[in-house]
Chain A
Amino acid sequence: MSVTSTLTSVNPRTTDARDSRPAGAGPALRRGILRAPVYLLLAVTSVLAVVPFLWMVVASTHPTSELFGTPLPVLPGGELWANLARLQESVNFSQVMLNSLGIAVIYTVFSSIVSIMCGYGLATYRFRGRGILLGVVLVTMMIPMQVLLVPLFQMMASAGWIDSYQAVILPFLANAFGIFLMRQGFLDFPVSLIEAARIDGASEFRTFYRIVLPVARPQIAALVIYTFISQWNAFIWPLLMLNTEDRYTVPVALNTMIGMSRVDYSGLMLGSLLATLPLMLLFLVFQKQFVSGLLGGAVKG
């Protein structure tokens, strides 16, 4: 069973098939006593998992003064628009959301193209330097990206790119993890399909574009979502690169709000809610691809 159906599927292979066994006197009662704590445990876990979300929603619709008052508000209030207006005024939040979306979309498009092409090249062709390139990709995956912060910062500074979007996007376009994921995927690609296209006289790029890409769509969807999430979450690098408030991404803007002399907590909670919303929407619409993308193909079959 593949990981993509993990969340939604009803598993036919059960770990407990005892139900079918005759269990003596009062099996239903015994089962009930055994199972009640499990339901209780799961209910508590679910509440703990969901409460911060609900609190985020409730808090973004109340004035800051009520967030720390007694009793705590538990239902949505009527201050949503006032909070939104303050959020817009203090950090130009609409602009910040646009920046984050723009950066994430552009990064996702180009990074995915680079990963798909490189993964396909590594899996399909033999050429000089292939082994070295694969080695570099593997090493890149292992090495903590923080090692690059100082030298990349200096590179961007000497290029005069500090406070620019390309400085945020360009250095991490070649995503080793994405490349590796695509290579693993294309290794299983049916060679006969490529051969057939070639016999029909299609050029290599045409074969790639018309035959390979359409067939590989599910794995590309997972890659695209993985890439988008990683850029949407990116914090330390945009924090280093962007200095002008109008150019901030959402995480950097939220960080600025925390540091203000009088913190607007309601605005902060609303900002956090809006920061999470795009990922929630992605999750709701593309649940399967989202899970396999988020796990980065950690488990296969």
Chain B
Amino acid sequence: MVASPLAGRRPATKESGRRTLARRLQRPGVWFVLPAALLLVIFFTYPLVTSLWQSFFATSGGVTSWVGLEQYARLFADPLIGKSLANAALILIVQVPLMIALAVGLAYLLNQSWLRFRGGFRLFAFLPAVTTLVAYAVVFRVMLATDGGAVNQVFAVFGVEPVDWLNNEWWARVALIAAITWRWTGYNMVIILAGLQSIPAELYEAARIDGAGRWQIFTRIVIPQLRPVLIFTTVTSTIGALQLFDENYILTEGGPNDATLTPVLYLYKVGFRQFDFGYASAIAWLLVVLTAVIAIIQFRLMREKK
């Protein structure tokens, strides 16, 4: 490419063009955004503020009164909060890395030029991401039945004793992790595949000329180049794990003995089974803080690269 003086100026021209256009047209902009702005104020800003406000109140015997930070103090003393956060953490520590590693491995293999039936393999791997959330959880629930469930029957063929998937605390967690991994690996695989395809071929060439082997190319070229994509998929999966509800509600309803209870499921139970709105609001704000922490970490990680 020839370095032209125009090349550097092009974005600036575009920007100033936008600006003159914009100066002339203040009003229409407002009309375009008005529906969204109104909806956001009514159904987001207002309830958000209400939720914070409510977390300072408690209702008992039909009387609602100001209790200050008492609901938040309850959070720290509540063993179920601890348990639900521990469950979320377990999913974070075990399921997210497992799934991302699987997705990277799959994407890497499915990006090899010599591979036959590549389109077919990609399609199969992606297929689980097309299922309706509740529907796939239902299918897993039926397949994991202890007596005569499809999974245990296949196990029996290999001489494995039936596993009490959904009624044993640890097996229930294994089942939940397996189900989520089944549903979301292909989804992440496609994102990573797109990342792989945007790595310039020259990088591989250069590494090869320098005598790098397969494994070195993978660890020194592929993984660093995938960094932004890996951060994105990891953070999305982390937030997904923190906000898990559909899967464990359908599979186990958080049981047995709260082994698969997650913060959102607990919020749902406190808010809409016990109708303790004040405490539910405090749990909700705990979630906000945790999500914000994750978002800040993501922001930091993304920045470090520059």
Interface residues of A (CB under 8 A from B): 1-3, 6-11, 13-17, 19, 31, 35, 38, 41-42, 45-46, 48-50, 52-53, 55-56, 59, 67-72, 113-115, 117-118, 120-122, 124-130, 133, 136-137, 140, 142-144, 146-155, 170-174, 176, 179, 191-192, 194-195, 198, 204-205, 208, 232-233, 235-236, 240, 250-251, 254-255, 258, 265, 268-269, 271-273, 275-276, 279-280, 283, 290-291, 294-295, 298-299, 301
Contact = CB atoms under 8 A, between A and B. Distances in A.
Interface stretch (B25-33, B66-74, B84-92, B167-175): B25-33
B246 A254 contact: no
A150 B124 contact: no
Contact of A127 (B26, B35, B194, B246): B26
Candidate in A46, A52, A265, A268 with the most chain B CB atoms within 10 angstroms: A52
22 contacts: A7-B122, A52-B143, A67-B150, A121-B29, A124-B18, A129-B30, A133-B33, A150-B280, A174-B43, A192-B17, A194-B21, A195-B17, A235-B245, A251-B246, A271-B138, A272-B135, A272-B136, A276-B130, A294-B187, A298-B191, A299-B195, A299-B232
A295 to B, nearest CB: 6
Interface residues of B, dominant DSSP: helix
B29 A299 contact: no
B196 interface: yes
B200 interface: yes
B243 A150 contact: no
A279 B130 CA distance: 6
Nearest to A16: B112
Contact of A72 (B125, B153, B186, B191): B153
Interface residues of B, number: 116
Given A6-B194, A7-B190, A15-B222, A276 B131 contact: yes
A264 B284 CA distance: 36
Interface of B: 14, 17-19, 21-23, 25-33, 35-37, 39-40, 43-48, 50-51, 54, 106, 108-115, 118-136, 138-143, 145, 147-150, 153, 156, 182, 186-187, 190-191, 193-201, 204-205, 208, 214, 217, 222, 229, 232, 236, 239, 242-243, 245-246, 249-250, 264, 267-268, 271-272, 277, 280-281, 284-285, 287-288, 291-292, 295
